[in-house]
Structure 1
Amino acid sequence: MTARFLVVLDADSTLIRNEVIELIADEAGRGAEVAAATEAAMRGEIDFASSLRSRVAALQGVPVASFERVLSRIEPTPGVRELTAAVHERGGLVGVVSGGFHEILDTLAPTLGVDMWRANRLAVEDGILTGEVDGDIVDAQAKADHLAAWAAENGIPVHRTIAIGDGANDLKMIAAAGLGLAFNAKPAVRAAAMMSVGPVDLSQVIPLLP
């Protein structure tokens, strides 16, 4: 059966309250340094791909075994399970496309009712992060492309898509969707989105579902 509509969310600070790269950086004792760089990237002050590479470089030497501790610190955004349940009840699909990492999303996404997801991968050697991204970086254009591709694969017209995000990396996805929502967002994203959801509660999106 063809899905009726598609909702695509950003992960960090949207699907979840955290910025995963900062949690991993804490494992290397570099959390504050990476947090400042993340904030600048989300405001759109620096190129996302360049910023991500420099922040991932700070993760060099972190053991993959520490991801379990990172996962234990993640806080799902209030209302996320209510939103994904409501999407499914109405015949829709939920996707997540993230500048974060598959290493975390592969475990987390299914527990939150997400149907499909795409993120960056961290290069690993002998169970240790090398400080590099493995493969193409999921940047703003990739987010918009995945929204369009998932809609096409599932026979959903673009005007029946909803994109939800908070940072500059979400702007193209928000512009490409039938309805673009700024969620707990940076000023540039609030200005560009069709609507802004203020409280940090994803169930606020439910009345907007088709």
Structure 2
Amino acid sequence: MTLRGIVFFDIDGTLVPSVSSASFLAARLGHQQELDDAEQRYSAGELTNEQVSVIDAEGWRGVNTSTIDRWLDDLPLIAGIDEVVAWCRSNRFEPVLASLAWQPVSSSIARRYGFTKNGGPRVGVSGLTYDGTVAEHFNEYDKRDRALALAAERAIPTQRCCAIGDSRSDIPLFDALPTSLALNGGASAREAATAEIDTQNLADTVPWLQQWARGLD
């Protein structure tokens, strides 16, 4: 099957609508308040994503990888994901995750819904146990660069790519693509995106995707 294009989806604040995936896990790991404070400071531009990752990763120390995977089965996600992924697949658009969420989060969502995972930071692992370090940092510019690299690998020009996200971490990718949607977005994401929508059902983005797809013909 020949791809027509790629749709990039953010995770935290977009597919995970309430708390971030990191905060969801931190609540079970016992450091949610510290992590939430760090994420708020990141949103305000006071901390880098790398600094937040170091704070969060320490809370994973000594936890088995299978425990995290099991908890992620309960991660609350926005309604309508199945419908949107089905639309993408039936119209020959690859649905790709572009996110700063930890790689186990992307892997879990990709497995459950049929997205392509593409990057993200990694917590270090020793055997089958997380060691509390950051094995790979991944910021908003890495997110953009990894998305553009995947498009190039697929021989898909940026004109045939769009992105759906909600926050500061989406802005570099929004700026690199001709079409983007701020979904329940913050002020900075709305300003950077070419369109915006507020909804609690991802399927409500399908009319926007259809309009974008028609413009590619």
- Contact 2:69–2:104 (Cα < 8 Å) also in 1: no
Partner of 2:142: 142
Q: Displacement of 1:69 after TM fit?
A: 4.1
Q: Distance in 2 between matches of 1:184 and 1:87?
A: 21
Partner of 1:205: 205
Partner of 2:180: 180
Deviations 1:81-136 (A, max 9, x none): 1111111111111110221122232232132121343222211224332221112x
- Contact 2:69–2:108 (Cα < 8 Å) also in 1: no
Q: Displacement of 1:24 after TM fit?
A: 2.3
- Contact 1:98–1:120 (Cα < 8 Å) also in 2: no
Deviations 1:9-44 (A, max 9, x none): 111221233422112222331112212222332344
Partner of 1:125: 126
Q: Distance in 1 between matches of 2:78 and 2:118?
A: 17
Q: Secondary structure at the match of 1:110?
A: helix
Q: Displacement of 1:72 after TM fit?
A: 3.0
TM-score (norm 1): 0.89
Deviations 1:137-164 (A, max 9, x none): 2211111112211221222121111111
Partner of 1:32: 33
Q: Which structure 1 residue ranges, 5 or more long, are not aligned?
A: none
Partner of 1:3: 3
Q: Secondary structure at the match of 2:120?
A: strand
Partner of 1:151: 151
- Contact 1:98–1:138 (Cα < 8 Å) also in 2: no
Q: Distance in 2 between matches of 1:55 and 1:11?
A: 17
Q: Structure 2 counterpart of 1:124, which letter?
A: V
Q: How well do the aligned residues superpose, as a CA RMSD in angstroms?
A: 1.9
TM-score (norm 2): 0.87
Partner of 1:196: 196
Q: Distance in 2 between matches of 1:157 and 1:181?
A: 18
Q: Distance in 2 between matches of 1:197 and 1:40?
A: 25
Between stretches 113-122 and 157-166, larger displacement belongs to 113-122
Percentage identity across paired residues of the two chains: 25
Q: Secondary structure at the match of 1:99?
A: coil
Distance change >3 Å, CA 29–CA 115, structure 1 → 2: closer
User: Which 4+ stretches in 1 moved above 6 angstroms?
Assistant: none
Distance change >3 Å, CA 45–CA 204, structure 1 → 2: farther
Q: Which structure 2 residue ranges, 5 or more long, are not aligned?
A: none
Q: Distance in 2 between matches of 1:25 and 1:60?
A: 12
